[in-house]
Amino acid sequence: NAGVTQTPKFQVLKTGQSMTLQCAQDMNHNSMYWYRQDPGMGLRLIYYSASEGTTDKGEVPNGYNVSRLNKREFSLRLESAAPSQTSVYFCASSLAGVAPYNEQFFGPGTRLTVL
């Protein structure tokens, strides 16, 4: 099992460019999440998908869109990148349901720089 995979690992964009971050999990998890991590800010939830076919906003959704393509895949799109979106992006998944199924497994992260 690969767990949670993310592509790309690194990306540099110019202001105004668009891109999609890809995430896939092979653990048959129901819920998937996108976070960003900035120095001194911890992990902040951008969007999450509690189950296939549903998506909800997190703390910092502005400037992002998501697609839960199927149970395995959850993508994050930046339509018009801004320097404030320079960050490390993590995808995570969890089986979800009644505890103890809430543990989140994280992907390796994507380091995005917007110039």
Partner 1 sequence: EDKVVQSPLSLVVHEGDTVTLNCSYEVTNFRSLLWYKQEKKAPTFLFMLTSSGIEKKSGRLSSILDKKELFSILNITATQTGDSAIYLCARSGSGTYKYIFGTGTRLKVLA
d(C-alpha 95, C-alpha 20), whole Å = 24
Structure tokens at 84: 């404030």
Interface with partner 1 (CB under 8 A), residue from 25, 85, 87, 94: 94
Say if residues 62 and 79 touch (Cβ distance below 8 Å): no
Interface with partner 1 (CB under 8 A), residue from 1, 10, 62, 100: 100
CB of 70 to partner 1, least distance (A): 18
Does 27 help bind partner 1 (rule: CB under 8 A)? no
Question: Phi then psi for 93, rounded to 5 degrees?
Answer: -140, 155
Say if residues 46 and 87 touch (Cβ distance below 8 Å): no
Is the CB of 8 or the CB of 108 nearer to partner 1?
Answer: 108
The residues that bridge with 67 in the sheet, in sequence order, are: 75
Interface with partner 1 (CB under 8 A), residue from 31, 66, 87, 112: 31
The binding site for partner 1 (CB under 8 A) comprises 31, 33, 35, 40-45, 48, 50, 56, 58-59, 90, 94, 96, 98-100, 102-109
